[in-house]
Chains A and B, each alone.
Chain A
Amino acid sequence: MMAASTKIVEQEPGEIELLLPWHAAGTLNPRDSRKVEEALAHDPELARQYAVIREEYAGTIDLNESLGAPSVRAMLKLFAAIDAEPARKPRASMNMAARLAGFFASLSPRTLAWSASLGAVVLVLQAGIIAAVLMNNRPASFETASLSINEPITRDLAAASSPRALVRFAPDARIGDITALLDKYQASIVDGGKGGMFRLQFANAAMSKDEFSGLLSRLQNEKIVSLAVATP
């Protein structure tokens, strides 16, 4: 160990050697990339080090991918904070990026709108997937994606047969609106995305059939809900 440390301290990296990690990641400019490739072709020691770097590169990606993804709580917190922000007045003078955006918008507003809508749906879908994953990982309980941001509520699934509904949201429904609706109805998205339908589960397991029908009617009349039907 000591000898290895001494050896390490003694070695001074060369210019090409320093660039190897970026070559492995494919982020070098063409000129530097050519220089590295030429050096690799003629220097077996450098090539050996490059092989090690590729292992590190793969290992780093592997490690980061294993970290998983954040819960929906982060998104809810963000958009609650954005909702609390003062309304923004359109700026009189736009910077280059904004002008560019305006240019693209004038060319293909439907494309951009569709991309954005798709993104919103993906986010909602993610909420459903996360909820489903939570259910799978914790057989007896899951954390809602809809109630208090700061105080997630855990409900006991084993003891409850909570009523569920399939819901399709209006295309212009915003995340903030959906979150508010879920909160209002004490509901969680437990599955979703198939055919644009989301499976909602309601917290009140003690609802009678009539009460649930009434709830579905109210849900159906919500502006951001296109369709709401009971489901097992």
Chain B
Amino acid sequence: MASDDVLIARIAQGDRLAMQVLYGRHHVRVFRFGLRLVRDEQVAEDLISEVFLDVWRQAGKFEGRSAVSTWVLAITRFKALSALRRRKDAELDDEAAGAIEDTSDDPEVSVQKKDTSDALRRCLGGLSAEHREIVDLVYYHEKSVEEVAGIIGIPENTVKTRLFYARKKLAELLKAAGIERGWP
């Protein structure tokens, strides 16, 4: 099976088949990462084509300093933040308010169900965008400290402490929902 690096090199030469294979490998993760950031399926789908069109156009400039998947996630993040900026401020405010309400409501429902894993999922969804992003990159996309630093554009020590405080926030949300996990 061709490696991602080989595919990128072929894409740089205009090989559409290589592009199709690379797309097949990464588009679901790109979609999910984007969706967790923008929280809108339509926008997340639009992001996919924008991200991979950038990959198509920029493949010749890819120098292999990071994994292709890391590079693609970095592009996704940039596109997602741009998409969020394009929204009207009022829309953002409404959504932020909605997200906060959801966060406080959902864990209560979970408490009633006494379902820790369900509460965990809901509280993970209730984290801020900054915290959701780093949790996803480390746990779901399995990125190292260095890779996360590269994707987000922050120092490695900040990566570590940001995830720590994301986890603290998660613990707070769970505690508010009546879920005690023995930490902190």
Contact = CB atoms under 8 A, between A and B. Distances in A.
Interface of A: 1, 4-5, 7-8, 11, 13, 17-19, 21-22, 24-29, 48-49, 51-53, 55-57, 59-64, 66-67, 69-71, 73-75, 77-79, 81-82, 85, 87-88, 90-91, 94-102, 104-105, 111-113, 115-117, 119-120, 122-123, 126, 174-176
A120 B164 contact: no
Contact of A55 (B1, B64, B120): B120
Nearest to B117: A59
Contact of A78 (B23, B60, B124): B23
Given A56-B120, A78-B49, A98 B20 contact: no
Interface of B: 1-2, 5-6, 8-10, 12-14, 16-21, 23-25, 27-28, 31-32, 35-36, 44-46, 48-49, 52-53, 56-57, 60, 62-64, 116-117, 120-121, 124-125, 135-136, 138-140, 142-145, 160-161, 163-164, 167-168, 170-172, 175-176, 181-184
A72 B10 CA distance: 24
A90 B13 contact: yes
A74 B48 contact: yes
A98 B13 contact: yes
Given A81-B53, A82-B16, A74 B176 contact: no
Contacts of B171: 8, 52
B139 A21 contact: yes
A32 to B, nearest CB: 9
A119 B21 contact: yes
Contacts of B21: 115-116, 119-120
B136 A75 contact: no
A87 B15 CA distance: 11
Nearest to A91: B60
Contacts of B120: 55-56, 59
A24 B63 CA distance: 30
A96 B64 CA distance: 8
Contact of A82 (B9, B19, B142): B19
Contact of A60 (B17, B24, B139): B139
Contacts of B168: 8, 11
Contact of B16 (A22, A100, A117, A176): A176
B100 to A, nearest CB: 15
Contacts of B136: 60, 64
Contact of B24 (A52, A56, A123): A123
Given A63-B124, A64-B136, A95-B60, 16 more contacts: A21-B139, A21-B167, A22-B145, A49-B184, A55-B120, A60-B135, A67-B32, A67-B35, A69-B31, A74-B49, A81-B53, A82-B19, A98-B12, A100-B6, A101-B9, A113-B17
A181 B124 CA distance: 43
Nearest to B171: A8
B64 A97 contact: yes
Given A19-B160, A81-B53, A120-B21, A52 B181 contact: yes
A88 B170 contact: no
A117 B17 contact: yes
Contacts of B167: 21, 53, 56
- Give the interface centre of A11, A96, A115, A122 by most chain B CB atoms within 10 Å: A115
B71 to A, nearest CB: 11
A101 B3 CA distance: 9
